[in-house]
Amino acid sequence: MIGFSFRQLEYFVAAAEHGSISAAARARHVSQPSVSLAISQLEGTLGERLFRRQVSRGLELTPAGQRLLGRARDILNLAVAMTQVHGGPQALRGQLTLVCFQDLGPYYAPRLLAGFRAQHPEVTVTLFETDLAGVHRTLSAGKAELALTYELGLDPLAERKVLAQLPPYALLPADHPLAAQAEVSLLDLSYECLILEDIAQTREYFLSLFWSQDLHPMAQQYTQTFEMQRGLVAHGYGVALSCTRPVGDQSYDGKPIACRPIREELNPQRVVLAQSTAMRPSQVAQAFMSWAAADTLEG
């Protein structure tokens, strides 16, 4: 008879989510040897390696580990649900793992998480932030139950709730001649130095807006972060496109930025909360999906 403990499954799931023994130990407030021992015991019980241990990339799930991850979450979620048979909505407990697109998360996740915790203080949330490609990898591998992201490139089978629709707009230096216009064209922008975030899918998406009009920006400057992009624009280094717009059109150092609509008709980017297709949604994940949809409607 195969025997394993809930603790072993919990530590295995934490290691799969975080990609390292040390990060899993910090997340669960235990020692690294405790996590390592639990995973070794689980591998011994199942007779299969669950992780490939790589120096540069940390832990990677083996095929056996991928199969176990969804089942382990189901078992842990069922165990939590069994303790809540006599509880009401306020008694909700368990774990939620949320991955956010790094440029988008700060505008939605803090409010949603704070409101959800006020309703369900016994739910523990693990939060990851990464680029769009990383969001999709994390969600499809079952390392996160939910993703807060743009719909761009999302698995068509993933269930989702639309939280907002954001049209692309132009960022310009405040004293740029184009800033005097009520709206700007992609043609005019194509003659400027276009500042792009050099992250997968984001880069291609904004360039594709020009390509769809048979335009090719004459000069391009790449950066790694949204705030560096905004700072360069504010100081006259070039122009940019974005869908996310922080409150207050200025860079970190207070330099103003002119934000203008795009003249061409472009489809907006949809902000969604999406479920992983690698597992059945837990009671906590379903509750968070409902909370996010209600918060968006009320907001």
CATH number of 210's domain = 3.40.190.10
The CA distances from residue 191 to 150, 185, 219, 241, 297, in Å, are 28, 11, 8, 14, 40
Alpha helix segments (H runs only) across 141-273: 186-190, 202-211, 226-234
36-56 per-position pLDDT tens digit: 888 888 888 888 888 888 766
Q: For residue 46, which of 58, 54, 38 has the smallest C-alpha distance?
A: 38
* Same domain assignment for residues 216 and 235: yes
CATH number of 77's domain = 1.10.10.10
- At residue 85, the pLDDT reads 54
The four Cα atoms 99, 104, 109, 111 give a dihedral, to 10 degrees, of 180
* Same domain assignment for residues 294 and 160: yes
Domain boundary among 41, 59, 82: 82
Does the pLDDT at position 288 exceed 90? yes
Domain span holding position 56: 1-82
* Same domain assignment for residues 273 and 143: yes
Q: Which residue has the tokens 């007779």?
A: 47
The answer to whether the CB of 39 falls within 8 A of the CB of 50 is yes
* Same domain assignment for residues 159 and 275: yes
* Same domain assignment for residues 189 and 127: no
* Same domain assignment for residues 89 and 70: no
Q: Cα(first)–Cα(last) distance of the chain, in Å? A: 53
Range among 2-6, 35-39, 183-187, 243-247 rated most confident: 183-187
> What is the average pLDDT across 137-147?
87
Please state, as a whole number, how many other Cβ atoms lie within 10 Å of the Cβ of residue 159: 13
Q: Whole-model pTM?
A: 0.76
- At residue 1, the pLDDT reads 42
